[in-house]
Amino acid sequence: MRTPVYDFVEEYISKDGVRAHMPGHKGRGPLGIEQRDITEIAGADILSESEGILGESQKNACALFGTGATLYSTEGSSLAIKAMLYAVVMNRGTGISENSGQRPFILAARNVHRAMLDGCALLDLDVEFISSKNSRGICSCVVTAEDVAHCLERYDKPPVAVYLTSPDYLGVQSDIRAIAQVCHEKGVLLAVDNAHGAYLAFLRENRHPVYLGADICCDSAHKTLPVLTGGAYIHINRNAMEDLTENARKGLSMFGSTSPSYVILQSLDLCNHYLATDFGQQLEDCVKQVEMFKKTAEKRGIRILSGEPLKVVMDTGASGYDGRQITEELREFSVWRGKKRRSGIECEFADRHHVVLMVSPQNDEDDWKMLYEWLDHTRLQRKQPALAPAQGLENISAVRRMSIREAVFAASETIPVTESEGRILAQETVSCPPAIPIAVSGEQISREMIGAFQEYGILHISVVR
């Protein structure tokens, strides 16, 4: 598979010409990668148009993922999510200026990323949440096809789309195939935040949302593939209307920078070549390693939660330990390899009840050896009384007093969270990761929300004046 973006930059570097253009470092600097950092010079194509080498590279990605179209983002899924929202709003033919008496809205699981709600504020789009009786703290909100069908029946006018996060931060995957069928029977688009699941298309059994029937989704390539941070995709299903692709492209252009990182674009381009070689076999071998590690951990008495193949989610609360304590244990763990010391295991995420490890085929044999050695020493093997269950999103009572846009753009003040009961949340206050809002802008702060804010270390929040 050709790598047209990378090859163009290689040729440009080899000419060793005068860079009388942006960026200011002129290809020289202390990082050592400046020569690869160019701008949209002649022949480099323009990402918002993608009629040259970038268009070719995106078509390569499209073929690899088996989509109708694949578009690049150099600003992560945060940009891709906003562009997805723009695409589904415009694709309904409603826009945001409809005067039918009912504002356009999106139907979503409550564990959405902050970027989704920021997009709703920018687009003046309302959100209605899908009722779910099963969650794991604020990170997971397990939604079934029956939940979606029941919610869709409540509305006279359909939403612009159903929106799900799958996989979520704790590795839980929704039944996308069944949910897509429900959505399409109702004539509703299904949009999926698949930020954590770019690799799912390359498993022996394809589990990528677009393959399973989602109309549009985003992947953070950098989360699970060998792509630089910020590299992401928007994928559109082959069966989706052509306008959806064009509107997604417009959304990326509207909300994104006119100066995309060509270093990130090169990494996306090179990743195509990597995916086209033996990535499938490497991924299968890695999944087997993860399964073996999970089984070994369970034999040590550590409770492992089920979920996506490349995450190890430890229920530390079941063993009586705060997950944040275990992260310190992981960071302090060290081993000697001959005369060299390896120090620290940095996890992806931890809260009071969980520790999440994310791995990929790039984790080598010695990485795994160190993880197993930590298993032999962790205090999780010495069980204590289990912690009280995490407060789930289904237990949070939410009353909307203002639209998301009204609240975000209202005059606001920051106050201690302990004094916020009854006030209206202005801009979301979240910890990142997981960047999942406990309360949504425009909602009235309840006592349950205050407890959840405190559990996640959020002590001050922004409220409408």
The pLDDT value given to residue 409: 96
Which string of b and e fits 127-137 if b means at least 16 CB within 10 Å?
bebbebeebbb
Contact 445, 423 (CB under 8 A): yes
CA proximity to 450, closest of 427, 413, 425, 426: 425
Predicted local distance difference test score (pLDDT) of residue 388? 86
- Residue % of the chain over a pLDDT of 70: 95
- 204-238 pLDDT, tens per residue? 999 999 999 999 999 999 999 999 999 999 999 99
What's the start-to-end Cα distance of the chain, in Å? Answer: 57
Alpha-carbon distance 364 to 369, whole Å? Answer: 9
- φ, ψ of residue 236 to 5 degrees: the values are -120, 135
Extract the tokens encoding 325: 């304590």
| pTM across the whole model | 0.94
Q: Looking at 237-315, list the stretches that DSSP marks H as alpha helix, in order from N- to C-terminal side.
A: 242-255, 262-276, 279-299
Q: Which residues contact 453 (CB under 8 A, 6 or more apart)?
A: 417, 429, 438, 439, 459, 461
Mean pLDDT, all residues of the chain: 93
pLDDT at 392: 65
Close Cβ partners of 185 (under 8 Å, ≥ 6 residues apart): none
Per-residue confidence (pLDDT) for residue 93, from 0 to 100: 62
Summarize pLDDT for 145-175 with one digit per residue, the tens. Answer: 999 999 999 998 999 999 999 999 999 999 9
Output phi, psi for 38, to 5 deg: -115, 180
Phi-psi map region of 408: left, alpha, beta (phi>0 left; psi -120 to 50 alpha) = alpha
Question: How many C-beta atoms lie closer than 10 Å to residue 169's C-beta?
Answer: 28
For the chain, which ranges sit under pLDDT 70?
93-101, 133, 135-136, 391-395, 431-432
**Closest CA relative to residue 85, chosen from 208, 211, 252:** 252
Task: Give the residue from 203, 191, 193 showing the smallest Cα distance to 168.
Answer: 193
Contact (Cβ atoms closer than 8 angstroms) between residue 395 and residue 448: yes
Given this model, what pLDDT does residue 100 score? 53
* Rounded Cα–Cα distance for residues 267 and 250 (Å): 23
What confidence score (pLDDT) does residue 96 get? Answer: 44
Per-residue confidence (pLDDT) for residue 95, from 0 to 100: 44
